[in-house]
Amino acid sequence: AQTVTQSQPEMSVQEAETVTLSCTYDTSESDYYLFWYKQPPSRQMILVIRQEAYKQQNATENRFSVNFQKAAKSFSLKISDSQLGDAAMYFCAYSQHSGGSNYKLTFGKGTLLTVNP
Amino acid sequence: ETGVTQTPRHLVMGMTNKKSLKCEQHLGHNAMYWYKQSAKKPLELMFVYSLEERVENNSVPSRFSPECPNSSHLFLHLHTLQPEDSALYLCASSQDWGLPNQPQHFGDGTRLSIL
């Protein structure tokens, strides 16, 4: 079974600085998707960034980028120029590529990010 | 404004009560999901509906009973709950079920407290 591990329950960063959130996963599949979701205090979970395992290029969305290390099964999220609005719980998630009846999003426990002014 | 709306936002109930959680999505999606979010635990998928048919039931106790009358609405009927059922219950939707490249859109959740 696939598992997702976020080893940092909490992180903090100064406004305008850069922070990296860690995520590792375990799978026997060769093709899959990885996601970072953000859940602010208002609780609506939103998708931040998505990576397809067969793509070697790291995904980027504005100030958010990932460092995808397939061999190491590592998928870290880098937030540059941190803003107060980035404060949230961040969840790493995995889904296999094939979809269908086996499709399921597997989440990590989350990392609570605090942004200090 | 969220495309997925959940009501109520907060619910406190006794162990013998019967209540229902409601979810409505305005995105024209075909798949809807119920998740349970407990403190310091990963999100747990409870149920999945695709085109109003249940396609996933993750060994959820029978005191949780889902209903999907149409593709826009999803309910979670609760009865005889236990204190360990206190959690945030999240509803989500996606365009279709079983396609991993489609993101799920989440509601704000219902914070459930069992007395």
Query: What mean pLDDT, rounded, does chain B reach?
Result: 92
Distance of alpha carbon B115 from alpha carbon B95, whole angstroms: 37
- Is there a contact between A101 and A37 (Cβ–Cβ < 8 Å)? no
Q: In the A/B pair of chains, how many CB contacts fall below 8 A?
A: 54
B2 near A CB under 8 A? yes
- Is there a contact between B32 and B92 (Cβ–Cβ < 8 Å)? yes
Query: What mean pLDDT, rounded, does chain A reach?
Result: 91
Tokens at B81, concatenated: 């709950």
Is the model's pLDDT at A101 over the cut of 70? no
Tokens at B48, concatenated: 């999945």
What is the predicted pLDDT for the residue at B15? 87
What is the predicted pLDDT for the residue at A73? 96
What is the predicted pLDDT for the residue at B56? 77
A9 near B CB under 8 A? yes
**CA B114 vs CA A41, B46, B56: distances in Å:** 22, 18, 25
- Residues in chain B within 8 Å Cβ distance of A105: 43, 45, 104
**Strand ranges inside chain B, DSSP E:** 4-7, 10-13, 18-25, 31-37, 44-50, 53-57, 64-70, 73-79, 87-94, 105-106, 110-114
Which of A89, A11, A35 has the alpha carbon at shortest distance from B37?
A89
User: Are B45 and A104 an interchain contact pair (Cβ–Cβ within 8 Å)?
Assistant: yes
For residues B16-28, average pLDDT = 95
Residue of B nearest to A6 (CA): B42
Instruction: Kindly report which listed range (B6-10, B17-21, B23-27, B97-101) carries the lowest average pLDDT score.
Output: B97-101
Residue B84's contacts (CB-CB under 8 Å, 6 or more residues apart) are none
Residues B48, B83, B21, B27: what is their CA dihedral angle, to the nearest 10 degrees?
A: -50
Tell which wins on pLDDT, A43 or B38: B38
The distance of A112 to chain B (nearest Cα, Å) reads 10
Is the model's pLDDT at B1 over the cut of 70? no
A61-71 per-position pLDDT tens digit: 999 999 999 99
Compute the radius of gyration of chain B from its Cα atoms.
13
What is the predicted pLDDT for the residue at A80? 97
Tokens at B20, concatenated: 């229902």
Helix (H) or strand (E) holding A47: strand A46-52
What is the predicted pLDDT for the residue at B98? 80
> In A, residues 58-87, which contact B (CB 8 Å cutoff)?
none
The distance of A47 to chain B (nearest Cα, Å) reads 7
Residue of A nearest to B42 (CA): A109
The distance of A88 to chain B (nearest Cα, Å) reads 14
Is the model's pLDDT at B10 over the cut of 70? yes
**Phi and psi for A85 in degrees, rounded to 5?**
-70, -5
Q: Give the one of A35, A91, A103 whose C-beta lies nearest to B98's C-beta.
A: A103
What is the predicted pLDDT for the residue at B55? 85
What is the predicted pLDDT for the residue at A55? 87
- Is there a contact between B94 and B31 (Cβ–Cβ < 8 Å)? yes
Residues B54, B60, B64, B67: what is their CA dihedral angle, to the nearest 10 degrees?
A: 0
Q: Give the one of B40, B98, B108 whose C-beta lies nearest to A42's C-beta.
A: B108
- Residues in chain A within 8 Å Cβ distance of B98: 99-101, 103
Nearest-5° angle of CA A113, CA A25, CA B98?
100
- Is there a contact between B7 and B18 (Cβ–Cβ < 8 Å)? no
A71-98 per-position pLDDT tens digit: 999 999 999 999 999 999 999 999 876 6
What is the predicted pLDDT for the residue at B102? 83
What is the predicted pLDDT for the residue at A1? 67
B104 near A CB under 8 A? yes
